[in-house]
Structure 1
Amino acid sequence: MRIFRFVLAIALLASSSVVMAKDSDMIRDITREQVDEKALTDAIASRTLSWLTGSSSNNDYMSVGRMANYFGFVGLRVASGHSLSRSQVAKQTLSVLDSQQRNTLLALLEQQKTPFEQVAKSRFAMNRALEGLLIGESISEEEFLELGKRYGQHEAQLGEIIAEAFGKIIQTLTAEQKQQLDAIRYAHLNGKGQELAKGNSKPKIKLNKNDKKELTNLAARFLSWSTGSEAFNDFEVVGKPSQHFGFVSLRMASNHGVKRGQVSKEVMSLLTADQRKVLEQAAKSNIDEFNRFIEQRGKLMRNLEVAQNGQSIETEKVLRYGREVGKVEASMTWSQAMAMLKVRASLTDEQSQSLLSIRNKYTAVGDQNLPKNSVERGRQLYSQCSLCHSDSSTTAPNLNSIVGRKVASDDSYNNYSKAIIDFSGSHKVWTEPLLKQFIASPKALIPGTYMGFTGLRNTQDQQALVDYLSSLN
């Protein structure tokens, strides 16, 4: 009865009983969605905002489906005009699969957890290295590329595990199931996916919240991979390579209200011609690297796709291509970071405050991913402070050896406010308790200070930042 209702729903969408999906029937032709210099410039400019004004948890955040994203769902979503819902596609897909096929996906949930965690750790290592650059720590490009190769390898290994499980399911699909999955794809490409839900019951699967989210991700990917083509699998948007700068977090915090083009326009408008040129040159150099990224990624895809035909994936190739993909992505990331740091070094006080003001228009994601170690936690929080308090900045005084230093006494900085100079008459030295009080609310402690930062409300964060500053002595 359930299958009858499902097929009936499909019949309502097309003149024939079952309509097979064709790339030519797409609402949007993904071959025209090419990454060009403008798209890369918009990406780098928007990341300039999110990276220079964000936090570690912002940088670490990644939306569901972005790791080991080799299975064509991004292409399907773009081709649908972004009208399809991952959860809706997943529910419809799960209703087509039989209990044994669904159990294979459930087993995959457990199989991928350890490699998934390894991918996350490798990515976090890259982010910590980038944040080290923000606060003046030393890391070479060669060292960073090695981190990238490790990240790419781990991501490819995760992809192999997923592809193998998907391949097993594909081998067991009946002709009727294949038609139903094709029909789901066709409906979503033509903006009619919503209608499928009317005749399709959802299987009851009890899982915790995180596992439910990941099962949704896997089921949606299975649909796109089992019904798609190489072109869809290879498709990638500008946001995936170099996704280490916190823009995804900013977009999610704004409930998808913030757009790359919009943020780019705001950022570029406050920069000088020379500063804009630095970002534009980085984008120009990224064009060839992006093409290499897609080329190497395509080699990895072809190796994974053999699982669709029941063949064995060559693990050695997975590792090799994964490292190459990671290396190119890391190279793009490095060049973008260097450009953003160069711009930061030339920002005026007014420009820095303008960047913070743009950021404040959007709701920040919490710092739930920060480590428990207080000094490391403070180091990551300090990456936000470094926008104004970097060694080369004239916007604000240097904070090295700030604990125990006389208030308003940095000889290399000559723009202290009258408010803090007056404050230094009654408060001679920056002690840890005084710094903690200042960090909590600069303007409450020193009304009239030039400090634009509103303060850290969380007392643990306040202490962590003070602990890190103490370590700089």
Structure 2
Amino acid sequence: MVRDVTQQQVDEKALTDAIASRTLSWLTGSSSNNDYISVGRLANYFGFVGLRVASGHSLSRSQVAKQTLAVLDKKQTEILLELVEDQKAPFKQVIESRYEINRALEGLLVGESLSRTDFLLLGQDYGQSEAELGRVIAQSFGQLIPTLTNEQREQLQTIREAHLAGRGHELSFDGPKLKMSKADKKELTNLAARLLSWSTGSAEFNDFEVVGKPSQHFGFVSLRIESNHGVKRGKVSKEVMSLLTDKQGKQLQQTAKINNSQFQEFMQARGKLLRTLEVALEGEVIDKTKVIEYGKQTGILEASMTWEQAQVMLEIRQSLTQEQASTLLDMRRRYTAQVDLKETMSSLDRGRQLYAQCSLCHSNTFSSTVAPNIDNVVGKRIASDQDFRRYSDGMQDFAKENKIWTEPLLQRFLASPKTLIPGTYMSYRGLDNRQDRDALLKYMSQSRN
């Protein structure tokens, strides 16, 4: 059954689900989780997401691409192959801009200062670079689409209708055999699928945007991948909301209300950008100045939504009880399928992301009744946080025998807290990996001074 995506609306309930599910993924995740992005998310201006949702998620991107490439002639295929190369520089710029946003957000998790104004400027850069990537793609599509014959247009329309009806797999098109790298083939697949959706679609399909696409900086997509797609946003949201207190839940709902207004503004600015790109369908040259203007607008609005979400998640983290924090970590372990998505990174970067998880209970920016402050803990007197008054008897006895947190002691404690200090209130089971412990201690001893 074909879904009418033009009637699908984002509302406060959908945004509450998005923020609640991100509360789990962001507060318990890592840099590599946050950096992961789904195929086709960047420069999502060409209607493929709308096509996929309308089909009930039944269509395959690679299948659509293969069938589309089979329809194109040699010169048209060469335009796409050239585009694979032409988009690499703007694509890299988008990725770098997105990384800047992610690192800034993770800085908030570990107590680094960042103003809303500076964050919105990062969003502006991201929006501009993403819009420029869209312009490069749209201009190449605009070069190709006018060359399609009537027969080719009919074939592409047939492909679209077959996939919407769930019969795309029944079509038999033999695409060209192309020798190219795996990465380039992935991008060609993405471009060919977008060419199909843009050349056969409408403004309504291009305008469609799902709730999880803006502000995709909090690692939920990665969590879905780690769970072998077993994680559903609504289910996670329900579980997280049931864990939170009424006050914490209302904080999320209030942010969703604010985001709902921002989302509508975002969609309006995005619509202006899409209309600017769509002139390429008529063979016209895209106005680069307008692309930059509307790209900046969408970037700022998306960053504003992201900022509000990050702030409420940080507020909730501050008010979490130890039981709530432990439950969130257990929830993630239960959902994930132990798929290692960790990228190669420096020891200090790895330590920083591990420290962010410690910050679920241990704050370095506010007094906590859950756990003591661990800022500058290496070389610090044990059980010496004057603002924390709930040290266990076991920890206090340990402090009498061991005055200072040395790195060897912290190595043993991080490996298994309850083994080193029986009776400690710390519910964390331990960090098994020695390299991770080294990275965390390196960050805590170097970066926090």
TM-score where L is the length of structure 2:
0.95
Q: CA deviation at 1:457?
A: 4.1
The residue identity in structure 2 corresponding to 1:368 is: K
**What's the secondary structure of 2:98's corresponding residue?**
helix
Cα contact 1:126–1:147 (8 A) shared by 2: yes
Task: State the identity %.
Answer: 64
* Mapped partners of 1:204, 1:458: distance in 2: 44
Cα contact 2:379–2:406 (8 A) shared by 1: yes
Q: CA deviation at 1:443?
A: 4.2
Matched, 1:380 2:353: yes
Q: Which runs of 5+ in 2 are unaligned?
A: none
Matched, 1:368 2:342: yes
Q: Summarize the Cα distance change of 1:443–1:207 in structure 2 as closer, same or farther, 3 Å threshold.
A: farther
Cα contact 1:370–1:380 (8 A) shared by 2: no
Residue in structure 2 matched with residue 226 of structure 1 by the alignment = 199
Q: Choose the corresponding residue for 1:275, options 244, 248, 258.
A: 248
Residue in structure 2 matched with residue 145 of structure 1 by the alignment = 120
Matched, 1:307 2:280: yes
Residue in structure 1 matched with residue 130 of structure 2 by the alignment = 155
The residue identity in structure 1 corresponding to 2:343 is: N
Cα contact 2:362–2:373 (8 A) shared by 1: yes
* Mapped partners of 2:369, 2:38: distance in 1: 36
Q: Summarize the Cα distance change of 1:366–1:36 in structure 2 as closer, same or farther, 3 Å threshold.
A: same
Report 1:185-204 matches (<5 A). Answer: 185-196=160-171, 199-204=172-177
Q: CA deviation at 1:365?
A: 5.3
Q: CA deviation at 1:38?
A: 0.3
Q: What RMSD over aligned residues (CA atoms) do the two structures have, in Å? A: 1.7
* Mapped partners of 1:93, 1:30: distance in 2: 23
**What's the secondary structure of 2:37's corresponding residue?**
coil
Residue in structure 2 matched with residue 464 of structure 1 by the alignment = 439
Q: Summarize the Cα distance change of 1:352–1:82 in structure 2 as closer, same or farther, 3 Å threshold.
A: same
* Mapped partners of 1:407, 1:430: distance in 2: 6
List per-residue Cα deviations over 1:429-451 (Å, max 9, x = no partner): 21123323433443454455433
Report 1:65-464 matches (<5 A). Answer: 65-196=40-171, 199-363=172-336, 366=340, 368-369=342-343, 371-372=345-346, 374-390=347-363, 391-392=365-366, 393-464=368-439
Q: CA deviation at 1:294?
A: 0.6
List per-residue Cα deviations over 1:9-48 (Å, max 9, x = no partner): xxxxxxxxxxxxxxxxx71111222101100010011111
Cα contact 2:6–2:205 (8 A) shared by 1: no
Q: Summarize the Cα distance change of 1:97–1:455 in structure 2 as closer, same or farther, 3 Å threshold.
A: farther
Q: Summarize the Cα distance change of 1:448–1:169 in structure 2 as closer, same or farther, 3 Å threshold.
A: farther
Q: CA deviation at 1:172?
A: 1.5
Q: CA deviation at 1:426?
A: 4.5
Residue in structure 1 matched with residue 22 of structure 2 by the alignment = 47
**What's the secondary structure of 1:361's corresponding residue?**
helix
List per-residue Cα deviations over 1:375-416 (Å, max 9, x = no partner): 333223211111111133321111112001122332222223
Cα contact 1:56–1:367 (8 A) shared by 2: no
Q: Summarize the Cα distance change of 1:216–1:451 in structure 2 as closer, same or farther, 3 Å threshold.
A: farther
List per-residue Cα deviations over 1:296-335 (Å, max 9, x = no partner): 0011101111111110001111111000000000000111
Q: Summarize the Cα distance change of 1:400–1:107 in structure 2 as closer, same or farther, 3 Å threshold.
A: same
Stretch of structure 1 that moved more, 399-408 or 199-208: 199-208
Size of the alignment, in residue pairs? 445
Q: CA deviation at 1:370?
A: 5.6
**What's the secondary structure of 1:409's corresponding residue?**
coil
* Mapped partners of 2:136, 2:84: distance in 1: 10
